[in-house]
Amino acid sequence: MDALLPGTHIDQFIIKGLFYSEGAARLYDVESKESALPLLMKIPKMDPGQSVFGLVSFEMECAILPVLKGPHVPRFVSANPLGIKPYVVMEKVKGIPLIKKVRPQGLTLSEMQEIGAAIANAVHSLHRQDTIHLDIKPDNLILTESNNIVCVDFGFAHHSLLPDLFSDNPGQAIGSTPYMAPEQIEQVRTDPRSDQFAIGVTLYQLATGVLPFGVPVTIKELRQRHWRHPIPLRHLRPDLPEWFQEIIFTCLEPLAEKRFPSTAHLARALVDPSVISITERGQRTRPDSLLQRLIRGFRPTIAVSKVPHFTPSEQVSNVPLITVVIDVEETHPERIKALRYAVLRAMERHPDSHLSALNIIEVALEGAQQNGASERHHKHRILLEHWLRELHVPKERCSAHVIETTDSAQKIIDFAKHNYVDVIILLANQDSNSSFLRVNRSTVTQLVEEAPCSVHVVRPAV
């Protein structure tokens, strides 16, 4: 089937021109009187000799895209998968594909931190909607002007509440081979940590301009990632710190349970590397020798993680991000004890959870220079770190944040939204002369009504 000409009408849409023609489908710029958005129409190729997988992936995208919401996916407009010319129409996202950021010298560390955290947060948003993308790569990630990441092309995706059309193709590894997680090679499509592996490959590529496992063609070549170490990042980029390599190689662990508990934890690590403990993974500087590769490759063990029995949203909710709001000037021992007990109970229920300790300093004018402001901020950071040490929680499971603001409740809500927090824990109101956050009734009410997560208000019996 030849490409459609400009001016062609398909239902209420008018073709403006061909936008993209690689792969199993063609993308067209289209317009419609019913929408002011810039639009793209995807039409699967049905040429003689075209693989049936292209049509199956198109049908998957038609099913999944309409149920996804939020800033990390293009808005769904319309679909007609059973028409003479089947199509799906979506918003045309304004931005650049990350593949255009791939260059031989790599990106700077700060660029990779910012982009990596944005990718991880975008993918976590999908997981919370019971969707695993399973084809994360620079071509399918759009970087917007606001540095937001939008995921596109859901043809290989899995949604736990929708039929998986690829489940009828046993023995077939579905995905893009350079980015495919080891469990995908063994036909496991229900583990959200597979996307984390692909994020690791993507960040490796953005850092070095090369792919950690090349472009494998055969199943034998694909399975080498079960046992073969990529060339260390710090061998190719000696300027990169050990913690960054530790993060990337954690994502690239062959067994899913050795990766981060969720992509939200990955985002947290990229934003605050102090939570990372350096292991042998981060310290590698030399590629494996020929002898080492031969030893690992001789009768290699092809181990696969257990198939998850929970939906993606249930899996990520079992490894929550917890935020505790702390007034470091609180001196009542029973109140301090009650708050610590609530935090420890929440963390004990979820051994892979991460804790963010948040201290809000209320100021009259946000961003204004005040006498003693830096000393006050430093003092509160020290007190907050001391509060965390009293919990006896490993440092990689917690982080401290001191924030100055004119609107305490809104700042906590914004923090929760940006970091995909699952639960906020804070003390109930008590009269206090503290110049810092006083959790009054209106603050608690606003948090309960507007926070994107559950809010646990601790009320000590004092």
Residues 64 and 76: their CA atoms lie apart, in Å, by 10
Q: Are residues 62 and 162 in the same domain?
A: no
Same domain? For 337 and 444 the reply is: yes
Identify whether residues 87 and 125 lie together within a single domain: no
Shared-domain flag, residues 222 and 326: no
pTM, to two decimals: 0.86
Per-residue pLDDT band at 257 (split at 50, 70, 90) = very high
Boundary-marking domain end, from 91, 123, 150: 91
Q: Report the CATH number that the domain containing residue 177 is assigned in CATH.
A: 1.10.510.10
pLDDT at 435 over 60: no
The verdict on 87 and 100 lying in the same domain is no
Q: What is the pLDDT of residues 349-386, one digit of tens each?
A: 888 899 999 999 888 766 555 667 788 888 999 999 99
From 168, 189, 195, select the one nearest 307 (Cα to Cα).
189
pLDDT in tens, 193-246: 999 999 999 999 999 999 999 999 888 899 889 888 999 999 999 999 999 999
Residue 419: which pLDDT band, with cuts at 50, 70 and 90?
confident
Q: Does one domain contain both 164 and 267?
A: yes
DSSP codes, 46-74: --TT--HHHHHHHHHHHHHGGG--STTSP
- Residue 112 backbone class (left: φ over 0; alpha: ψ -120 to 50; beta: rest): alpha
CATH of the domain at 47: 3.30.200.20
Give yes or no for a contact between 300 and 399, defined as CB atoms under 8 angstroms apart.
Answer: no
**Which CATH number characterizes residue 429's domain?**
3.40.50.620
> Looking at the structure, do residues 206 and 64 belong to the same domain, yes or no?
no
pLDDT tens for each residue of 3-26: 899 999 999 999 999 999 888 899
Q: Is residue 1 included in any domain, yes or no?
A: no
Residues 399 and 340 in one domain: yes
Name the domain boundary from 75, 91, 107.
91
Distances (CA, A) of 298 to 185, 212, 227, 228: 20, 21, 10, 11
Q: Would you say 256 and 225 are in contact if contact means Cβ atoms under 8 Å apart?
A: no
Residue 216 lies in a domain: yes
Type of residue numbered 133? H
**Residue 3 within a domain:** no
Q: Please state the domain count of the chain.
A: 3
Q: Taking 60 as the threshold, does the pLDDT of residue 433 lie above it?
A: no
End of a domain among 315, 332, 355? 315
Residue 52 and residue 119 in one domain: no
Q: In terms of domains, do 76 and 125 share one?
A: no
| 341 shares its domain with 276 | no
Question: In terms of residue numbers, what domain contains 417?
Answer: 320-458
DSSP strand pairing (158-159 vs 131-132): antiparallel
Do 166 and 222 sit in the same domain of this protein? yes
* Residue 4 covered by a domain: no
